[in-house]
Copies of this chain bind each other. A is one copy, B any other.
């Protein structure tokens, strides 16, 4: 680490003292930035994900414009699912579509466990290029197996996850076999990101929150535990984010993750009391960025106060920044976190 490298984020992940509370924002490289829209205007979303030079450009944008304390690889959690052999496209309105959902043993057997360097080399190249540019830590990421499985089983996004739960409850062996294969893929994928130069790894469990705690414990948690145990020898801090996961927090604390991401639904102090010696990341409502400046600063001050007993705290939104958020409001929040938390 040279003198100009800002390692505040990494220290906070490990529960070390920092001069201020670091902040980054989920989806900080995204549609709310005109600079992103400009890049995205010329290519499809998948083309962007597979073009390392453009991925580097949009990953760097929020670091340069907003002065966040960490960068996160620009990519999509479904990229390795496509590499497993599931055809994928992105519909502008409906989001990701897998036109051939995985609902049978036959369909599952056709999926491969890809070599991440061979099948998703563009991701690793993006990481290598970013490390040459960045003066803040680079976060790599993947989806968590349950979340990835929902997309494969439903054939895309879902409101109620009928097909996923139907498989869990009526064909549990098939469900577990799919989870096992996705987990194998995810372990290799994150290990490759670590080799390429990622300095922390976040596992996004966007849909874990649709599970009852007993089902999370049976059908989702063991796979997250396995993945994280296989990443221990990378030495990188691991962040596990179970979206809408307030009732899963105590179970999430058993994943082995160094940091637990929090969505905005839980009071951060209540969360901290549940997770023991683990850092937390979060958790302002992304839409609260719309508040007038004085109220936004007050809300940030309240959140920092609520987090003062945290083992470590990385400020973040409780979910991705919304596309209609004015970037200047994001900047107000980032400056406020830096200023109000300065020690």
Contacts and interface: CB of A to CB of B under 8 A. Distances in A.
Nearest to A244: B244
Query: What DSSP secondary structure best describes chain A's contact surface?
Result: helix
A287 B165 contact: yes
Contact of A302 (B165, B214, B287, B288): B214
A234 interface: no
B322 A264 contact: no
Contacts of A292: 170
Interface of A: 160-162, 165-166, 169-170, 209-215, 244, 246-247, 264-267, 270, 285, 287-288, 290-292, 295, 299, 302, 318, 322, 324
Contacts of A266: 213, 247
A324 B166 CA distance: 10
Contacts of A210: 265
Contact of A169 (B160, B212, B267, B288): B288
Total copies of this chain within the assembly? 2
B265 A169 contact: no
Closest 9 CB pairs of A and B: A165-B287, A169-B290, A247-B266, A246-B247, A212-B264, A169-B291, A247-B265, A212-B285, A213-B267
B160 A322 contact: yes
Contacts of A322: 160, 162
A267 B264 CA distance: 20
Given A169-B295, A212-B267, 6 more contacts: A165-B285, A166-B287, A209-B265, A210-B265, A214-B267, A247-B265
A266 B302 CA distance: 27
Nearest to A167: B290
A285 B215 contact: yes
A318 B211 CA distance: 11
A139 to B, nearest CB: 24
A19 to B, nearest CB: 28
